[in-house]
Structure 1
Amino acid sequence: MAKLTNIDSEVQRSNFFKFDSIGEFIVNMFQVTLIIGSIMTFFYLIWGGIQWITSGGNQEAAKGAKEKITDAIFGLVFLAAVWIIWRLIIYFLGITSSVRGPFNLKLPQP
């Protein structure tokens, strides 16, 4: 028979907006900025797609919509690159123990 455990004690609760130092505040605000930027860029991509669908053969409207889609994809790639660079900086400086939030990935140790 399986042993029942207290699941509440095993779940770690993360206080994403709680910080004890200015470094944690900067890390949390950087992560919030990346999340908000990603959401805004995704909606810009959807807006461009809707404009392209509703252009109705109008070449100017289709061109503007394609530019929006291109800009949104570039923005998502840029945000992904910034996030990767940020994670590499955190990893190589060895400050992963103070980083909290939804993007706290465990990187393999050499």
Structure 2
Amino acid sequence: MATKNNFFGYTCIGHLVSNLVAAAFIISGIAFFVYLVMGGVQWLTSGGDKAKIESSQKMISAALIGLAIVASSYAVYMIVLEFFGINLDALCTESPLGN
């Protein structure tokens, strides 16, 4: 029997979920880096202005807190998969679009 693909090219829901989670973590990592660099540049160009320095410190802190939240959400994701014994590779089904 030939494997049929849906519009996205996935026949396994587990692969789709896994790739979506990976994409979300990549996007959040890029956002962390950009926000961290923006805070650093703002700090460097503050010219000694206390308000700008505080603003840039808050931006850097927010980036680090966001990274901690993303890292902990990944840990929770992995713990849930392990605890419930979910194997994403085993979630293969026929295409929902019937292609």
Question: TM-score normalised by the shorter chain: which range applies?
Answer: 0.7 to 0.9
Give 4+ residue runs of structure 1 displaced > 6 Å after superposition: none
Any residues of structure 2 matched to 1:15-94 within 5 Å, and which?
Answer: 19-94=10-85
With CA pairs under 8 Å and 6+ residues apart, which has the higher RCO, 1 or 2? 2
Offset, 1:39: 1.3
SS in 2 for 1:20: coil
Q: CA RMSD in A?
A: 2.0
- Aligned twin of 1:6: none
SS in 1 for 2:28: helix
Number of positions where the alignment pairs a residue of Structure 1 with one of Structure 2: 83
State the distance in 2 between where 1:55 and 1:63 align: 10
Q: Does the residue aligned with 1:27 lie in a helix, a strand or coil?
A: helix
Q: Where does structure 1 lack aligned partners over 5 or more consecutive residues? A: 1-16, 100-110
The structure-2 alpha-carbon separation of the partners of 1:93 and 1:24, relative to structure 1 and needing over 3 Å to count, comes to farther
Report the identity percentage.
31
Unaligned runs of 5+ in 2: 1-7, 91-99
Farther-moved stretch of structure 1 (73-82 vs 55-64) = 55-64
Deviation of 1:24 after TM superposition, in Å, equals 2.3
3-state SS of the aligned residue for 2:47? Answer: coil
